[in-house]
Structure 1
Amino acid sequence: MAVSPEYLAILAVVMLAVGAVAGLIAGLLGVGGGIVIVPVLFHVLTELGVPEDVRMHVAVGTSLATIIATSAKSIGAHRKRGAVDDALLKSWGPAIFVGVIVGTAVAGYVKGPELSAVFATIATVVALHMAFGKESWRIANDLPRGVGKHTLAGFIGAVSAMMGIGGGTLSVPILSLYGYPIIRAVGTAAAIGFIIGIPGALGFILTGWGKAGLPPYSLGYINIPATLLILPTSMWLAPVGAKLAHTMNRTWLRRAFALFLAITAVRMFYGLLT
């Protein structure tokens, strides 16, 4: 897996750029920077010749590691504006945590192509929602209680951990469908991402420990150089995105991001079929 210094320099620039976009998107839309990091890192690892069996796992694990810091920065910015619902976090937190443990365990034992298929499928659903969904759409006017609450929170935790994304990718549209204010959903989603990131990253370290074919300087399924390159720009721009979330119309950005996700999903499905 030897590469030239020139290629490594280009790789560093790409990772810094990915971190910038991921941080901005994380703060602005509350969807979690992982939805940007995972597909880009997956393609970078492909170019580096990382084996297919571990490629997607490394992309997901590394993404989860970056989400911890990015979410922490985003939380602070949203909390200053009163957009973080601590009561909801206390209510949903335990079930999300359990869901992350389950999702991480499952992801550690499924094959790379199967994990790619999960990511591509969820990315397609999210893209369709961002492109065509309306904030006025409702399933109900109140969030579910009891078993329904725990099931929903556990689902968000499990799928987010398997995809390497912050919980906002799923929690923002789900909360909105239950009549939750969009800005408060975005702010609270940043905190959900933090809950997902810590156990998720630890799980991917453990399940990837000693695996063959990992890129150099990896801690389990988490690649340390990629993490360190992504973090500075993502942490810098996450608060900027959070600030913009309270001041701008995000319709055009949602649709542009939906196009990016759709293209990513198509490329991943194409790769699985060829």
Structure 2
Amino acid sequence: MFTIVVSCIALGAFIGFMAGLLGIGGGVIAVPVLLFLLPMAGVVPEHLTHVAIATSLAAIILTGASSARAHHARGNIPWHLLTIMLPGLIVGALSAGFISSLFSAQLLKQVFAGFLVLMALQMVFPFKAAEGERSLPASPYLFVTAMFVAIIAALMGIGGGILFIPFLTWCGVQMRHAIGFSSVTGLMIALFGSLSYVFAGWATQGLPEYTLGYIYLPALFGIVCTSMLTAPLGAKAASVWPTARLKKIFAVMLFFTGIKLALS
């Protein structure tokens, strides 16, 4: 356990710094590393991917809260839109843990590997929907969209901004409001998604000590105690480091990590 906690402290520092430097979510870094570390804690293969994703998702709660608070202070969060989409977010996030338990750990790992490859391609060839004059769809469609994004995000252990931001900007929402909205929805997805993984894994046999459902608490503690401290350092470094080049290098690493996971 000591090795895992120390490793996750280092992992959290790296996640926070890279999030501030490149503006990426921590899940794409945390899940592959946790897939390597968690067997040392006695997490068996049939639960490994579920525990890695659940722990990654829980780690987003504090960083998501910090980001949402900063965007709220700048007036970037369209709260009226959140009231419309919040029920879909809650339903989707709460469903994710139970949906994940329907899939084998190997299949879930393959899906996550494919997601990493798509993330890498998105970083190298970014898709940016232009802000337009289109209006947001009716409330029932927003509910379904929010539920779908929440399910996908919680299944992958991420916040969901990569899906929400292009959708909202395509619907005519200003970019700063789309990013602010993404920050608070990431918090909601992480919070309710983590709860779903707690309940889904509550009676699961074969999990090691110090788990709360599917969430492995020592790893969670290690990640969160440093990630919030290093994020501002990464943001500061972004003003002087060649972030465009670094993002492409990181995307190549993500691409090959996804291929390796898919073949393992």
User: Which among 139, 159, 163 is matched to residue 152 of structure 2?
Assistant: 159
Instruction: Please give the TM-score of this superposition, normalised by the length of structure 2.
Output: 0.85
Stretch of structure 1 that moved more, 51-60 or 202-211 = 202-211
1:245 and 1:145 map into 2 onto residues whose CA distance is 38
Q: Deviations over 1:175-209 (max 9, x none)?
A: 34445444443332221111111221111111112
Separation of aligned partners in 2, 1:85 and 1:255 = 32
Amino acid corresponding to residue 168 of structure 2 in structure 1: L
Contact 2:94-2:195 within 8 A present in 1 as well: no
The one-letter amino acid of 1:158's match is I
| Structure 2 residues without counterparts, runs of 5 or longer | none
Q: Is 1:57 the counterpart of 2:50 in the alignment?
A: yes
**Gap runs ≥5 in structure 1:** 1-7
3-state secondary structure, aligned to 2:207: coil
Matched, 1:192 2:185: yes
- Give the C-alpha shift of residue 36 in structure 1: 1.7
Structure 2 CA distance for aligned equivalents of residues 147 and 201 of structure 1: 25
**Structure 1 residues 128-139: aligned runs within 5 Å:** 128-135=121-128
Question: Contact conserved, 1:183 with 1:246, CA < 8 A, in 2?
Answer: no
Q: Secondary structure at the match of 2:101?
A: helix
Q: Residue 94 of structure 1: SS of its match in structure 2?
A: helix
For the 8 Å contact 2:132–2:169, the answer to whether it is kept is: no
The corresponding residue for 1:97 is: 90
- Partner of residue 13, structure 1: 6
Q: Is the 8 A contact 1:29 1:186 kept in 2?
A: no
Q: 1:85 to 1:255 in 2, by over 3 A?
A: farther
- Following superposition of structure 1 onto structure 2, how do residues 1-274 of structure 1 map, counting pairs within 5 Å? 8-26=1-19, 31-46=24-39, 48=41, 50-135=43-128, 141-238=134-231, 251-271=244-264
CA drift of 1:242 comes to: 6.4
1:138-161 deviation digits (Å, cap 9, x = unpaired): 798444333332222111101111
Calculate percent identity across the aligned residue pairs. 37
Q: CA RMSD in A?
A: 2.9
Preserved CA contact (<8 Å) 2:35 2:52: yes
Aligned length: 264
Whole-Å separation in 1 of the counterparts to 2:119 and 2:188? 21
Cross-structure match for 1:4: none
Cα separation, 1, equivalents of 2:60 and 2:246: 21
How far off its partner does 1:240 sit?
Answer: 5.3
SS of the equivalent of 1:216 reads: coil
User: What TM-score, normalized by structure 1, do the two folds share?
Assistant: 0.83
